[in-house]
Each structure stands twice: as structure tokens, then as C-alpha cells.
Chains A and B, each alone.
Chain A
Amino acid sequence: MKSVLIKRFLLACFLIVAASALTFALVAAAPGNVAALIAERAAGPGADAEMIRKIGDELGLYDPLPLRYARWLASAATGDLGVSLRTGKPVAEEFAARIPMTAALLGGGGLIAFLLSLTLGIAGAASNGRLADRVIHGFSLVGASTPNFFVAALLVIVFSVTLGWLPTFGTSGFQSWLLPWATIALFPASVLSRVVRVNLQEAMSRPFATTGFAKGYTRSSVLLREALPNIAIPYLTTFGAQFTLMIIGSIVVETVFALRGVGAFFIDAIRFRDFVGMQSTLLLFIIFFVMTNLLVDIICMLVDPRIRRARSA
């Protein structure tokens, strides 16, 4: 178990390096010139070619790509992510202010998706083809096929504009988080509730479920005691995948609800050709992806006795 964990961790580190190298190369290949941008800022539209060259030389922009990547990664490892071309502030400082915002969005949304999907999935399986099951199925189909900018607009129109219950944007306390959380949680909650429902149904047709009935449990008890523990692995795996996807959702949700998080920073960086900001945010996203997956893998190993106790057998 311990050696497996070490192996997984090393693999995760390798993945981070490999993926960030790839994104570094892609961003470097994107149209636009950092030196020109800086020169323009300094001297207005009249920046001449000489000045651009000089700035580029100073920044090492004309060095070979692998060298630039190595230099960037080394300084990133020390916490120096460079200075945002858009805001003029160190990216590390931006992140320090913005990561808590995105963490709150993803944490709340993830928790809602977790609770809602389990509740709906179990309720659907318990209802087993009757009305509640079909209503929940319908909800999850709609939820999984509605883009989140549309969900956001709809929620704002209903709860903010028409009913006036909740604020349209900003971070003024718990209430202001409800609409962003609902928006970002809808898609994963819909997908995951189907995963719960389908896997529970499959588990209920397995022989151990019949044993559960033979032990004298009612159907709902068999569902919770026998079937539910058996869907832990597929559920957690899908949850991990959905949770990482929520970072993509945060780009839209933070923009729509004017949350000053990492997602909004990323989209602004793209808009303003802030290559430094873009690069750093992508690194952050990659670390989030890889570490979430590593965490899910570890949780799955701990949850499944066949893996957890593999060595004591």
C-alpha cells in the first residue's frame, strides 16, 4: 500500500511536469508577442521594433523553448509565477487572493453535487420505476444537457430579478453564494445522480442483494446496507472526474456572477493576452486535476477492502 502511494505520487508529479510543458508550448505558439505588449504599454502604440527586440532579449524570449520552459518551471517551483501583464501585479499575489474564492465555489458546489446526487440517486432507486424515479430521471436529463451560462441566466431571472430573493452577483455573505453554487453543481449533480441510480440498480440484481433480502431486510434497507457500499468505487471515480470539470465551469460561473476567482482571472488573461497569467493559471489547473485524481485514487483504495487489505490476505 505504501509503495503504491509513493508510485502514484511520483506519477502525479511527472504528469504535472509533462502536461505543463505541453501547455507551455501551446501558449508559446499562440499568436501575440509579450515583448510587443510590454512595449506598447510603456510607449503607447508607437513602440518601435528596436524597443520590442530589446525587451524580448531582456526577458529571454528568443531563447530555445525547452530552456524557457525550464527557467519558468524553476521559478514557478519557488513560488515566483511572474508578473501579470494585465494587472501588473505578481501572479502569486493574484492567486493568493483568488484561490479562496474559487475554492469556496468548488467546495460548496462539490458538496451540493455530492449530497444532491446521492439523495436523488437513492430516491430514484428506492422508487424503482415509479413516479419519483421518472421525475428524477427527467431532472437529471435536463440538468446534464443545459449549458451553465443558461442555467445561471435562468436562476438570476427567477430568484434575483423576478422574486428578488437573492443577489445577482458579488460575495456579500452566504446568500450570494447560493446561485453560483446551484449553477456549478447542476451538471455534476445530474450526471452523478444517474451514476448512483444505474449502479444501485445493477447492485440490486447481484446475488449478494438476494442474500440481503434473505437476511430479512426490506428493499430500502438492502439498498442502503448492501447495494450502496458497492457503488462507492464507480461513484467516487465519477465524482472525481466531475469535480475536476467544475474548474472549467468556474470560468463561466465566476464571470457571470462577478466572482473574483481563478476562473475569472483565466478568462481575463486570455482576453488581454496576458501570457504570464494564462501560463500560471493553466499550471494551477493541471495541479488541481492531477491532485484531485490522486486523492480520488487514494480514497478508492481506502474504501475498497479488496485493495486496502490486499496484503493481509
Chain B
Amino acid sequence: MTSQVEPLYAINDLVIDLYAATVSVRAVDGVSLHVMPGETVAIVGESGSGKTVSTLGPLGLLPEGVTVDVRGTAKAGGKDLVGMASARLSQMRGAYFGVIFQDPISALNPMLKVGPQLAEQARRFCGLSHEAARKEAVSLLARSGIPDPEDRYNRYPHEMSGGMLQRAMIALALAARPKVLIADEPTTALDATVQAQILELIRQIQRDNDIGVILITHDIGAVASVADRVVVLYAGQVAEEGSVLDVLTSPVHPYTRGLLASVPDFRAEDRVEAHEIPGLPPNQIKLEPGCRFAERCEHVEPQCRVERPPLRTIAAPGTPHRVACPVVIRREGIAVQ
């Protein structure tokens, strides 16, 4: 990573509060993360840990009905998305970001044909003519691994299978030739056989187009196979981050270790059977001062409940490996920078 290359999307000290009818939640509490050109960053963590809100919140892509309060910065293309006027933010969403959602069946409009939507994107954001946009759309469908793309162009979502729809969704996300692709659990709703194909497609697209990919997942296998870096979120905070190799083979944070141990087939020789992390993620409605993981942590010390553990960078060559657990770092004598 050379210092002149700017990240494509960088969020910094992001805090996002959600106000629904009766509750307010600090869904994201001081998260920083970024993605470089040509890089795939995986975001992992239990359901509710803030993966979606932290990445899609600054884009204004949270469902209607909740009031969203965003602080911090979210820089993309030299501009800060936080506080951006809504018309400009819409333009950024269309031109700069492509988003793939978890369930393609509900994410694609049942009343709209798939192909024309792709063509529309190509026309609006790439300045293509009507004819050229149509050709581009068919080609996108083909490149997304959809057989008989000329026919699929005029199909409605209900006329395609889940796997095909997710391919169409990927094509739609790419139609405006975005710089950043955000895939929010793109395989969770799909059959196991299709999951690997979709991941492979995302990886191939990333290589072909040299875009930045943020892959939100709780599939550790997916992280290992497609990501360069991984960020572990716990209860709206970054617990650990680093290269996939560092984080998956020498995890430091007790939560990361628990998360990896709970994957049945990962590092099968070390662990005979899968371990569940005991307890539940904290209720983010009441904000405790200390470490969010303290309640479930086997290494907990009194200090953990008082002070928020800082992210420390472990001394190692290559991609920085950061961990928000001074206790394990101290106990295991891990060197920090």
C-alpha cells in the first residue's frame, strides 16, 4: 500500500444513532474502516453488530421509518457523504457505489423487468445512448453468468431463480460502473451450491474492474476465499482488523477467537467440535462505558468494564493488524507499535 493511493471509501470515527418509534440504538459507535482500489475488505460479526448500518448508513440506504443520526466522516471520491445534500448523495449512490443486497427476490422490484433497469443505469451514469445502453445491459447479464441474456433482458424477477436473480442484482450494481461495490451478505439467502458461484463471480468482477469491494458476511469460508483484509465488528465497534491471513490464523481479540472457534470446519485440526460463544450480544440501547464484549469474555478484568479498550496496532510487517483488547495483548506478551 503506497501512501499516494487514496482509499475509495473511508469512514472515520463513525457514530450512527437510530431512533425508531420507541427505542433509540447506537448502532455504530466510533467505527473507522476503508477500502482501497482493487481490494476486497470483509466485514464480519454477529447479526446486529452494525455491519449494514456502518457501511450503508452514510449512503442513506437504511430502510424508511427510522430516524438516522450520523456523525463522523465517510469520504468517497474526495467528498464527505455525511451531511451531503440529498440530491448529490443520490447522484453519488448511483455513480460511485454499487450495492448488492442479501435477498435478491425482495430487493428487485417485482413490477419492473430486469434488463431495462440495467440499461437505464448505463444510460444515466455512463452517458450511453439508448441502443448502446441496451447492448451494455445484455453484455452485463452475460458477464454476470446469466445464460441466454437476450431473453433474460425482458424477464421479470418472478421468472428467474434466486441464484439468477442475485447475478442480475450484481449486474445491476455494476451497470453504472461504480468504484465501490458493497455486497451485504450476498449469499446468505441462496442455496449452498449457488453461494460459491456468486462469491467467485464477485471476485472475478473485482479483478476485472479493479474496484473496491466491501463484503459483509458471516461466512468465514467466504472471507478466507475472497477477501484481502477483514474487519471484525462487535456491538457497533471494531474489535479487530487486519489481513485475512493474520486475523484468521492468529486472532487476538477474544471475540474473534470465539467467532472462529464457532465455525465448524475452520481449522478443523485444532478444534474437534464447534464452540458457541456463551451469552448474547449486548443490548445497544443502554450504553455501557467499557468493553462491549466484557459480559461474555473469559479474560475479563475490572478495568475492561470502566474504559473503552483502544485499538492497538500489533507490530508485524505488512497490513496493520489492530486489536481492541489490551488484556490479551499484555497477557500473551504481544508486541505493539
Residues of A near any B CB (own CB < 8 A): 201, 204-219, 226, 229-230, 232, 304-306, 309, 312-313
Task: Specify the chain A residue showing the minimal Cβ separation from B159.
Answer: A313
Contact present for B94 and A216 (CB under 8 Å): yes
Alpha-carbon separation in the docked complex, A210 to B99 (Å): 10
Residues of B near any A CB (own CB < 8 A): 59-65, 86-87, 90-95, 97-99, 101, 103, 106-112, 117, 120-121, 124-125, 156, 158-159, 169, 172-173, 176
Contact present for B101 and A205 (CB under 8 Å): no
Contact present for B93 and A230 (CB under 8 Å): no
Alpha-carbon separation in the docked complex, A210 to B124 (Å): 18
Beyond A229-B109, A305-B111, list 15 extra A-B contacts (CB 8 Å). A208-B110, A212-B109, A214-B61, A214-B97, A214-B98, A215-B172, A216-B124, A216-B125, A216-B176, A230-B109, A230-B110, A230-B111, A306-B110, A309-B159, A313-B158
Contact present for A206 and B106 (CB under 8 Å): yes
Which residue of the partner chain, among A205, A216, A304, contacts B64 with CB atoms under 8 Å? Answer: A205
Output the least CB separation between A117 and chain B (Å).
20
Output the least CB separation between A166 and chain B (Å).
41
Contact present for A209 and B158 (CB under 8 Å): no
Contact present for A232 and B106 (CB under 8 Å): no
Which residue of the partner chain, among A210, A218, A229, contacts B101 with CB atoms under 8 Å? Answer: A210
Output the least CB separation between B174 and chain A (Å).
12
Contact present for B101 and A305 (CB under 8 Å): no
DSSP majority for the A interface?
helix
Contact present for A207 and B103 (CB under 8 Å): yes
Across-interface contacts of A230 in B (CB, < 8 A): 109-111
Contact present for A229 and B112 (CB under 8 Å): yes
Across-interface contacts of A306 in B (CB, < 8 A): 110, 156, 158
A-B contacts, CB under 8 A, total: 89
* 24 interchain pairs, CB-CB under 8 A: A205-B63, A207-B103, A208-B108, A208-B110, A211-B109, A213-B60, A213-B61, A214-B61, A214-B98, A214-B173, A215-B93, A215-B117, A216-B90, A216-B121, A216-B125, A217-B90, A218-B87, A229-B112, A230-B109, A232-B111, A304-B111, A305-B158, A309-B158, A312-B159
Alpha-carbon separation in the docked complex, A208 to B172 (Å): 12
Alpha-carbon separation in the docked complex, A309 to B86 (Å): 37
Across-interface contacts of B64 in A (CB, < 8 A): 201, 204-205, 209
Contact present for A214 and B99 (CB under 8 Å): yes
Alpha-carbon separation in the docked complex, A208 to B99 (Å): 12
Alpha-carbon separation in the docked complex, A216 to B87 (Å): 9
Output the least CB separation between B98 and chain A (Å).
8
Across-interface contacts of A216 in B (CB, < 8 A): 90-95, 121, 124-125, 176
Output the least CB separation between A37 and chain B (Å).
57
Alpha-carbon separation in the docked complex, A278 to B91 (Å): 63
Q: Do A207 and B107 contact each other (CB < 8 Å), given the known contacts A214-B99, A215-B121?
A: yes
Across-interface contacts of A206 in B (CB, < 8 A): 106
Contact present for B156 and A210 (CB under 8 Å): no
Contact present for B61 and A305 (CB under 8 Å): no
Output the least CB separation between B121 and chain A (Å).
6
Contact present for B63 and A210 (CB under 8 Å): yes
Task: Specify the chain A residue showing the minimal Cβ separation from B86.
Answer: A218
Contact present for A208 and B106 (CB under 8 Å): yes
Contact present for B60 and A309 (CB under 8 Å): no
Contact present for A215 and B158 (CB under 8 Å): no
Q: Do A210 and B107 contact each other (CB < 8 Å), given the known contacts A215-B172, A216-B95, A226-B112?
A: yes
Residue of A208, A217, A219, A229 with highest tally of chain B CB at under 10 A? A208
Alpha-carbon separation in the docked complex, A112 to B173 (Å): 40
Across-interface contacts of A309 in B (CB, < 8 A): 156, 158-159
Alpha-carbon separation in the docked complex, A305 to B108 (Å): 14
Contact present for B159 and A207 (CB under 8 Å): no
Across-interface contacts of B124 in A (CB, < 8 A): 216
Residue of B103, B108, B156 with highest tally of chain A CB at under 10 A? B156
Across-interface contacts of A232 in B (CB, < 8 A): 111
Contact present for B112 and A213 (CB under 8 Å): no
Output the least CB separation between A194 and chain B (Å).
18
Across-interface contacts of B65 in A (CB, < 8 A): 205
Across-interface contacts of B108 in A (CB, < 8 A): 208, 211
